[in-house]
Structure 1
Amino acid sequence: MTPSRPMRADARRNRARILAAAEEVFAEHGASASTEEVAARAGVAIGTVFRHFPAKRDLLAAIMKDLRRRLIDKAEALIANGDPKTAFFDYFTYLVESSAKIGTVVNLLAEEGPSIEPGEQIMALTHAFGTLMDAAREAGAVRPDVRPDEVIALLTATTHGAMAAGWSDDLRRRTVNLVLDGLRPH
């Protein structure tokens, strides 16, 4: 087997445009979204989409991987530069807000077949979330009796609710505020 060559700059740009367009198209149209629409929105030929993503499942998996990468990048930026008193709360909010976009892709992936193993990305997300929570606790912004598994349960319930029920922006914001108020010291 020969090692794969690095992707040309134009191919990388096309791939990024396809992923961004696909994320928008799937969020807007769900399962009825067409590859042709993705290609048109990305400004590339349909063959270019298929060259990068031979099947719809490949495109959905790449979107999911890209979304996870953005979540990790956001956490790492908050760890490096965020205020420990607010970074954890900002990240919790960001995760719930992102869930609406992720929800469509997750549902489509589930329809396409077996789940895709997230592996290292989920471990990195879990670690980053824990790091942000520890820093917030040390800064006195999170109650000392709050356990990580409780916070993950609250996050999971809130993101699932936002995804499954299609919460409005206002409901999502108010719900997140109530959850986060429960995590703060009284």
Structure 2
Amino acid sequence: MPAQRADARRNYARILAVAEEEVAAHGADASLEQIARTAGVGSATVRRHFPTRRALLEAVSRQQIEALCARARELAGSGDSRGALLEWLGEVVAYSASARGLAAALARDGASPDSLYENSCSAALEEAGAPLLRRAVQDGAAAEDVTVADLITLVVGIVLATEHHPDPPAEADRLFRLTVAGLGPRS
């Protein structure tokens, strides 16, 4: 792939900075036209750098995804496999609920597995979380048929269901804990 020209690199950086602010303010439905206007570029320039809304959301979320992946690696050696998995998933919930647009970047869009625009956010988290889940399954702390994709889908559902709540992170955390505990009485 040829190196980008200096002006293209500047445009990318400016678009991404504006997109981060717009997504933080308006969520996954941030206006691409507003991003282009604020960045001082045409909408075609935005689409050239980010051919889909998902590509833009993934770029905006990249640092958070990398931090969550690093956290999974840190927790992989923990003695309590279930605790490590739940701690990591709780952090995925917290990040996703507090970072508008992240849940939409993680959501499955029905694209085929060999799609040109693979969901790189979900793929990175699935890869990072796999050792945590594998250990929990080996220790009998998680069901064998559960996948990290299943867990990410649950997180996305919880976060999307709580995004308009007065305190999305708190409500998402509460629902996550309910999901983990189940409907049984608390002792």
Counterpart residue number, 1:74: 67
CA contact (8 A) 1:23 1:63 kept: no
| Identical residues among aligned pairs (%) | 13
Counterpart residue number, 2:89: 92
RMSD: 4.1
TM-score when scaled to structure 1? 0.60
Within 1, Cα distance between the matches of 2:54 and 2:180? 31
TM-score when scaled to structure 2? 0.60
Residues 87 and 126 (structure 1), Cα distance of their counterparts in 2 relative to 1, 3 Å cut: same
1:132 to partner: Cα distance: 2.3
SS at match of 1:134: helix
Instruction: State yes or no: 1:46 paired with 2:41.
Output: yes
The farther-off stretch of 116-125 and 69-78 is 116-125
CA contact (8 A) 1:162 1:172 kept: yes
Residues 26 and 60 (structure 1), Cα distance of their counterparts in 2 relative to 1, 3 Å cut: farther
CA contact (8 A) 2:73 2:128 kept: no
Deviations 1:143-162 (A, max 9, x none): 53533526653542342143
Structure 1 ranges of 4+ moved more than 6 A: none
Within 1, Cα distance between the matches of 2:34 and 2:56? 17
Residues 116 and 24 (structure 1), Cα distance of their counterparts in 2 relative to 1, 3 Å cut: farther
SS at match of 1:46: coil
Larger helix proportion of the pair = 1
Residues 53 and 25 (structure 1), Cα distance of their counterparts in 2 relative to 1, 3 Å cut: farther
Within 1, Cα distance between the matches of 2:84 and 2:5? 35
Paired positions, count: 166
CA contact (8 A) 2:69 2:124 kept: no
- Where do 5+ consecutive residues of structure 2 fail to align? none
Residues 167 and 16 (structure 1), Cα distance of their counterparts in 2 relative to 1, 3 Å cut: closer
